[in-house]
Amino acid sequence: MAWFKKTKAPIVPVETKKVKMPEGVWRKCPHCNEIIYAKEIERNQNVCPKCDYHFRISARERIALVLDDGSFTERDATMQSVDFLEFKDGMRYRDRISAAIKKSGLNDAVLWGEGTIDALPVVVAMFDFSFMGGSMGAVVGEKVTRAAEKALENRCPCLVFSSSGGARMQESILSLMQMAKTSAALSRLKEAGLPYISVLTDPTTGGVTASFAMLGDINMAEPRALIGFAGPRVIEQTIRQKLPEGFQRSEYLLEHGMVDMIVRRPEMKSRLSQILRIFMKQ
Amino acid sequence: MQFYLEFEKPLVALEQKLNELRAYSTDEVDFSGEIEKLEKKAEKLRREIFSNLSRWQLTQLARHINRPFTLDFVKHIFTDWFEVHGDRNYRDDPALVCGFARFDGEPCAVIGHQKGRDTKEKVYRNFGMPNPEGYRKALRIMQMAEQFGLPVFTFVDTPGAFPGIGAEERGQAEAIARNLREMAALKVPIIVTVTGEGGSGGALAVAVGNRVLMMQHAVYSVISPEGCAAILWKDGTKGEEAAEALKLTAHDIEKLGCVIDEVIPEPLGGAHVDHEAAAEMVRICLKKHLDELKQLSPDELREQRYQKLRAMTIIKE
Ligand SMILES: [Zn+2]
């Protein structure tokens, strides 16, 4: 096997400078396709400086964005979902939960707690789309419900920032019931004369839209967010025609009277503060 | 209209034979012995088939074209019925019928999804899939029931909300959400019966109640098995597997212990073989629950409904 001894020079991969971007330093905007310095996007509150595209952000980033620094106290941080149906598609639900916890560093798709906006006490619930697409099972429903109940107890406003693909199928009928449970809690808030503000961010669809996300005294949307009940693909398949341009985007919902206003992320906190002070007569 | 599901077919053959024998025995030949034997055989077979139905077969049964629909229940259970129409904003929605009637002699409101049996009526009823106007009409009727102090009976049987451009444009999400919030606060008894398909938000929009009952062969789910299969299995034809995973039958949901209050039995062979008998079983159950709810004050009714929803929580803390 002498011929084998003569080792060839190892093949050195040719540097492909034009494709390879150092991980995390540059980001491509999915809307305008520009390659932008990641730090610049971050400094701009995760909004594309070229086209104003609002990148999806985590619940923690959202908290930092709208609440006063250090004012947030999280509640029920350890609450987790249970695979009570032993649901299995390609993967067991219990394994999906574990994987999502590991990947996202969160225990489920919503964080809730108390904090302040310009010193005004509020209760907030924040969705995190990175946890199973922000889907609503019993944990999400329970946290949103407890947020509304806490606001009632504290006599303060309640805010929910939604970003969700809808109900979590792996919890079947119980996930559907969370729509009714959360809406019932909001009915008590309304009766008590306390403000509830729903902020709809990209994307908010399905059972989340058809419950607390549409029930705000003020429904506020981020620009160009996808907001709807039925998914665009399902509609397209049902009616067998192309959907109109801009269908189910924030601007379309504003035009059709379903949201009160579209607010850009940099103005979000000051706008919330202004509205809450009017409703709380401060 | 004659229509049989695949698993009903062995029974149909037996029934046909029985009918032939019955027709012949009017002559001098006596087949009564054979008829009796065959009747016993049919009964045994029916029992066998119906005690071993898969979740997918039960889903098909829940969708059976001859299953009693809301207006069939109205005919057999209520008196003095008159239908009312329209949401006062846009139009009437024939997929969700609303009206007033008497139950056991006492005035009440009735709301329910309505499907069609022949092609023309199916289209007219939009296959039982409401548009936003349907939910808004239902809410108008529920608030009227509150105004007059009448109990509300709802009958749930829909594949789901209609996924159309117009339905989105006119805010079906808002219409469903508003119903959920307002039903939670209603000051009169609400008794919900899932009679066929309880399909997602389109069902829930009229299904927040002090009591939620399910007929034995009804199904209730967050998404149709086909829709679930399309998303999780990436294959809409895998409905059978999705139905198993979703655990959507009355028996499954009863086992959860927090979603429904009672399963209403059906005649052997399913509600579609005998509408009158099926409706009577529903009537008895409604009567029992209404009598219990009559003992509660308006505030107690709201509190009971709220606590019922509050208990729908299976989590790890
Ligand atoms: Zn951009």
Question: Same domain, yes or no, for B182 and B247?
Answer: yes
In this complex, the residue of B207, B248, B316 whose CB is nearest that of residue A80 is B316
Report the pLDDT averaged over residues A43-60.
94
Is B73 part of a structural domain of the chain? yes
Report the pLDDT averaged over residues A67-93.
96
Res. A2: pLDDT tops 80:
no
Question: Same domain, yes or no, for B171 and B251?
Answer: yes
Question: Same domain, yes or no, for B129 and B176?
Answer: yes
Nearest CA in chain B to A79: B317
Best interface-test mutation with A: which of B55, B200, B248 has the largest number of A CBs within 10 A? B200
Residue B34: band (very low, low, confident or very high) from pLDDT cuts 50, 70, 90: confident
Question: Same domain, yes or no, for B42 and B141?
Answer: no
Residue B130 to residue B93: CA distance in whole angstroms: 7
DSSP structure string for B155-201: EEEES-S---HHHHHTTHHHHHHHHHHHHHH-SS-EEEEEEEEEEHH
What residues does each domain of chain A span?
25-55, 56-279
Best interface-test mutation with B: which of A172, A219, A239 has the largest number of B CBs within 10 A? A172
Residues of A with CB below 8 A from B208's CB? Answer: 180, 184
**Interface size between A and B, measured as CB pairs under 8 A:** 180
Report the pLDDT averaged over residues A72-91.
96
Under 8 Å between Cβ of B59 and B225: yes
Retrieve residue A45's tokens.
């509150």
pLDDT digits (tens, 9 = 90+) for B122-134: 999 999 999 999 9
Residues of B with CB below 8 A from A90's CB? Answer: 232-233
Q: Determine how many CB atoms are found less than 10 A away from the CB of residue B293.
A: 19
Question: Same domain, yes or no, for B81 and B151?
Answer: yes
Res. A14: pLDDT tops 80:
no
Check residue A103 and give its pLDDT: 95
Question: Same domain, yes or no, for B29 and B113?
Answer: no
Under 8 Å between Cβ of B218 and B207: no
**CB B176 to CB A210 under 8 A?**
yes
Question: Same domain, yes or no, for B100 and B10?
Answer: no
Beta strands at A110-117 and A73-75: parallel, antiparallel or unpaired: antiparallel
Question: Same domain, yes or no, for B46 and B99?
Answer: no
- Side chain identity at residue A84, one-letter code: F
Is B254 part of a structural domain of the chain? yes
For residue B69, give the nearest of B131, B128, B132, B8 by alpha carbon.
Answer: B128
pLDDT digits (tens, 9 = 90+) for B170-225: 999 999 999 999 999 999 999 999 999 999 999 999 999 999 999 999 999 999 99
Under 8 Å between Cβ of B97 and B54: no
In Å, what is the CA distance from A246 to each residue of A227, A249, A250, A270, B296? Answer: 11, 6, 9, 28, 49
The superfamily CATH assigns to domain A56-279 is: 2-enoyl-CoA Hydratase; Chain A, domain 1 (3.90.226.10)
The residues, ordered by sequence, that sit 6+ positions from B44 with a Cβ below 8 Å of its Cβ are none
ipTM: 0.95
Residue B312 to residue A171: CA distance in whole angstroms: 12
Question: Average model confidence (pLDDT) for chain B?
Answer: 95
pLDDT digits (tens, 9 = 90+) for B78-105: 999 999 999 999 999 999 999 999 999 9
Res. A3: pLDDT tops 70:
no
Is B317 part of a structural domain of the chain? no
Q: Is A8 exposed, middle or buried (0-12, 13-18, 19+ CB in 10 A)?
A: exposed
Check residue B12 and give its pLDDT: 87
Question: Same domain, yes or no, for B27 and B155?
Answer: no
Check residue A7 and give its pLDDT: 46
The residues, ordered by sequence, that sit 6+ positions from B121 with a Cβ below 8 Å of its Cβ are none
**Is pTM, for the whole model, over 0.90?**
yes
Res. A273: pLDDT tops 70:
yes
The residues, ordered by sequence, that sit 6+ positions from B97 with a Cβ below 8 Å of its Cβ are B70, B71, B83, B110, B111, B112, B113, B114
DSSP structure string for chain B: -----GGGHHHHHHHHHHHHHHHHTTSSS--HHHHHHHHHHHHHHHHHHHHS--HHHHHHHHT-TTS--HHHHHHHHEEEEEEE---SSS---TTEEEEEEEETTEEEEEEEE---SSHHHHHHTGGG---HHHHHHHHHHHHHHHHHT--EEEEEEES-S---HHHHHTTHHHHHHHHHHHHHH-SS-EEEEEEEEEEHHHHHTT---SEEEEETT-EEESS-HHHHIIIIIS-TT-HHHHHHHHT-BHHHHHHHSSS-SEEEP--TT-GGG-HHHHHHHHHHHHHHHHHHHTTS-HHHHHHHHHHHHHT---EE-
Chain A closest-CA separation from residue B26 CA (Å): 53
Beta strands at A80-81 and A120-127: parallel, antiparallel or unpaired: unpaired
Report the pLDDT averaged over residues A134-153.
98
In Å, what is the CA distance from A69 to each residue of A113, A160, B277? Answer: 14, 19, 66
Q: Determine how many CB atoms are found less than 10 A away from the CB of residue B238.
A: 18
Is B110 part of a structural domain of the chain? yes
Question: Same domain, yes or no, for B133 and B44?
Answer: no
The residues, ordered by sequence, that sit 6+ positions from B16 with a Cβ below 8 Å of its Cβ are none
Q: Is the dihedral of CA A132, A137, A139, A143 positive or negative?
A: positive
Residues of B with CB below 8 A from A244's CB? Answer: 165
Beta strands at A196-204 and A158-164: parallel, antiparallel or unpaired: parallel
Q: Is A189 exposed, middle or buried (0-12, 13-18, 19+ CB in 10 A)?
A: buried
Res. A5: pLDDT tops 80:
no
**CB A210 to CB B223 under 8 A?**
no
Is B315 part of a structural domain of the chain? no
Question: Same domain, yes or no, for B22 and B110?
Answer: no
For chain B, percent of residues with pLDDT exceeding 70: 99
Check residue A19 and give its pLDDT: 52
Retrieve residue B67's tokens.
């299953």
Check residue A147 and give its pLDDT: 98
Answer whether the bond into residue A30 is a cis peptide, omega within 30°: no
Residue A2 to residue A156: CA distance in whole angstroms: 83
The residues, ordered by sequence, that sit 6+ positions from A213 with a Cβ below 8 Å of its Cβ are A160, A162, A164, A198, A200, A204, A219, A227, B173, B177
Report the pLDDT averaged over residues B41-55.
91
Residues of A with CB below 8 A from B238's CB? Answer: none
Is B316 part of a structural domain of the chain? no
Check residue B4 and give its pLDDT: 84
Residues of B with CB below 8 A from A140's CB? Answer: none
CA of A28 to the centre of ligand 1 (A): 8
Res. B164: pLDDT tops 90:
yes
Check residue A239 and give its pLDDT: 84
Looking at residue A163, the DSSP 8-state letter turns out to be E
Query: Which comes out higher in pLDDT, residue A19 or A241?
Result: A241
What percentage of chain A's residues is helix, strand, coil (to nearest 5)?
Answer: 40, 20, 40
Residue B296 to residue B294: CA distance in whole angstroms: 5
Is B1 part of a structural domain of the chain? no
Report the pLDDT averaged over residues A255-262.
97
Question: Same domain, yes or no, for B43 and B89?
Answer: no
Is B266 part of a structural domain of the chain? yes
Residue B100 to residue B134: CA distance in whole angstroms: 16
CATH code of the domain covering residue B296: 3.90.226.10
Residue B9: band (very low, low, confident or very high) from pLDDT cuts 50, 70, 90: confident
Chain B closest-CA separation from residue A185 CA (Å): 8
Residue B98 to residue A102: CA distance in whole angstroms: 49
Check residue B1 and give its pLDDT: 55
The whole domain housing B166 covers 59-310
Check residue A234 and give its pLDDT: 86
Report the pLDDT averaged over residues A186-193.
98
Report the pLDDT averaged over residues B303-308.
98
Chain B closest-CA separation from residue A191 CA (Å): 9
Best interface-test mutation with B: which of A107, A177, A208, A209 has the largest number of B CBs within 10 A? A177
Question: Average model confidence (pLDDT) for chain A?
Answer: 92
Report the pLDDT averaged over residues A47-53.
93
Quickly tell me which residue has 């059972």 as its tokens: A207
Instruction: Give yes or no for A179 touching B (CB within 8 A).
Output: yes
